[in-house]
Amino acid sequence: MSAGRLRGSVARTARIARWEIARSVGTVDRKTTLALIVIAVAVGTAGVSVADDGVGLEREIYVVGVDEGSEYHDVAVESEQFRAIPLENVEIESETEANVDVVVLRDGRIGYAGTNGEAASDAFREAITEYNAKLMEAEADETAAYPVLVSLEYQDRDRGTASGSGTSAGTESGGGDEGTTGDGDGGSSLDGSSGASEPHEPTGDDGGGGTDRLQVPSVGGGSTAATTSTTPGSLAPPFPFESLVLAFLFIVPMNFVIQAYGSTIMDERVNRRGELLLVSPASRYEIVAGKTFPYLLGLVGVIVAIATVIDGGPVAVAASLPIALLFLAATFVGAMLARSFKELTFVTVTISVFLTTYTFVPAIFTDVNAVALISPLTLVVMVLQGTSVGFGEYLFSTSPFYLGAAVCFLLGIGVYREEDMFAQKPIPTKVIDAIASRIHGRRSISVLSILFIPFVFASQLLAVALLFVVPQSVAVPLIIVVAATVEELAKSVHVYAGFVRSRFEPTVRTGAVLGVLSGAGFFVGEKLTHVVQFVGLPELPVGTAAFGPAVSSNPLVLAVIFLAPLALHVVTAVISALGASRGRFGYVGGLAVATIVHVTYNAGVIALVA
């Protein structure tokens, strides 16, 4: 493209973008503005609440009766949940009526009273634990504060090894020193004792959740180990709650933006407003780019603002950008396929639920397993936890999103034409039209097989993320069936579209040739996804079921592992292609047979490497 044509294309795209902004702003009424303000306040409140350890919602919700001379007085004063009053002001009329929730008697015994007493007692125990932990952290002599050395090592569940102690030293637990008020030999206990006459006596052991987190597993999988200074009661499985909540803030605005974006595309179809653009000098690519750019720019602005507030940095922005692109691309395709605003609502809700699940659920396991890296949101969690993100991790997490967004836009643009935009065709028919619009010869079959790889990869990764905690006896068979079905569908749907839209002659020879091209193209694209070998997923049984065994160092075994899938993909693609040449029912039958063959192959591989 020459420089003049490029400048003209950019100018037309920018003009369409300005029109879209002017039109969108003009349609925002007071109710919509109020709703957006409420959403912004809610998101901001949630972010500030987590980032700053709350916004004071639990400030002084309990009252504790304790004298200033008591060693527990400082605990009550430093905890924002409690308000301390002198013992002489305590009034307990009955078991349910009292002006205090917790009482610390002068002899050191602790009890509770009133309807909220039991909950207040538990909260006071947690406050004691936190207070003791702060005293030990402030101790200059770390050995005195933590005399017992323990190292924790978390390993993958599927390896059959529970979390346990290792041999390396790390300060994990120990008794208190003279400066602390704990359960050790250095001072009196603050966890209460029995004997109070009027208040009820608290029961249970001290507990608390630790605030230190284990490091995110590096690329390559394996066990997760860390050494921290803490108390035995604070030992807990790693769970990045605060980081997850902050990372989820990036997803919330996307769900609302796609509603507006989908509505503007649908409005042009229902009211035929898009007809004016179709007859303009602007191409379909320029029209779609111009209409999408304002919403993408708005999402980028929101992402940058959130990253700035929560100190996410450039990595958080870069990790959230592909999520925003895929949200918009999937919504664009949905708006092009839907026949009404009612149908569009169902489509956008489905897209929102699926993509939110895909991005959020794996990130829950950030501190547990390398499977979390399938979600770009995991990178945001890693950054918020202070863990560095490598380029390989970024590429692995975001590539399916970038490629999936590109393919969705290409398919949507394929039906951005008068015969599809303004026709009330069923969704399956439009899907076939969108795919067939990208078929320009036999070579297109191989190209489309490669382009569908991101969707196959994403589907299999999501299945692995959802099923890797399920018992292997259930998860592995399900993964085998899901992986085979998704792959066979990706290798054959465009072949079927080519036959249905008369792009090819429906003959046995043509079907066989197209099957070979589709299978070979899919094989090439599949090899590109073998980056999963470097993040440890094949070490999981469900990962092996979805992606095959790990790469072997034996040349003969490596050759077999490399070439066997080629034969499989070609054979199964030919079977489904021959069925597709016979029409709809033939395609369904061929697809079923190909899937059975694929499932049998996968089961054999699993049995062989078991």
Q: What would the pLDDT profile of 429-455 be if each residue is shown by its tens digit?
A: 888 988 998 898 898 999 999 888 878
Looking at residue 240, what is its pLDDT?
A: 57
Q: Which residue has the higher pLDDT, 228 or 610?
A: 610
pLDDT tens-digit readout, 33-81 = 565 566 666 555 555 555 554 444 567 788 888 888 888 888 888 888 8
Looking at residue 348, what is its pLDDT?
A: 86
Label residue 161 by pLDDT band (50, 70, 90): very low
Mean local confidence (pLDDT), 375-385: 84
Looking at residue 295, what is its pLDDT?
A: 92
Is the pLDDT at 262 greater than 80, yes or no?
A: yes
Is the pLDDT at 203 greater than 50, yes or no?
A: no
Range from 99-103, 208-212, 237-241, 544-548 that averages highest in pLDDT: 99-103
Is the pLDDT at 332 greater than 80, yes or no?
A: yes
Task: Compute the mean pLDDT over every residue in the chain, rounded to the nearest whole number.
Answer: 75
In the chain, % of residues over pLDDT 70: 69
Looking at residue 494, what is its pLDDT?
A: 94
Task: Name the 3-class secondary structure at 153.
Answer: strand
- Rounded Cα distance between 43 and 592, Å, is 47
The lowest-confidence range among 141-150, 217-226, 245-254, 466-475 is 217-226
Range from 83-87, 311-315, 373-377, 567-571 that averages highest in pLDDT: 567-571
In the chain, % of residues over pLDDT 90: 18
Contact 542, 532 (CB under 8 A): no
Is the pLDDT at 212 greater than 70, yes or no?
A: no
Q: How does DSSP classify residue 364? A: G
Mean local confidence (pLDDT), 417-427: 80
- Rounded Cα distance between 237 and 298, Å, is 38
> At a CB cut-off of 8 Å and minimum separation 6, what does 269 contact?
335, 336, 421, 422
Alpha helix stretches (DSSP H) within 95-140: 117-138
Query: Which helix (H) or strand (E) segment is 20 a member of?
Result: helix 3-26
Is the pLDDT at 211 greater than 50, yes or no?
A: no
Is the pLDDT at 131 greater than 90, yes or no?
A: no
Distance, CA of 69 to chain centre: 51
Locate 26 and state its tokens.
Answer: 């003009």
Is the pLDDT at 321 greater than 90, yes or no?
A: yes
AA identity, residue 11 = A
pLDDT tens-digit readout, 495-554 = 999 999 989 999 999 999 999 999 999 988 877 665 544 444 555 555 555 555 555 556
Looking at residue 46, what is its pLDDT?
A: 55
Looking at residue 145, what is its pLDDT?
A: 67
Closest residue by Cα to residue 320 from 257, 249, 368: 249
Q: How far is CA 52 from CA 18, 44, 45, 48, 242, in A?
A: 39, 12, 10, 6, 10
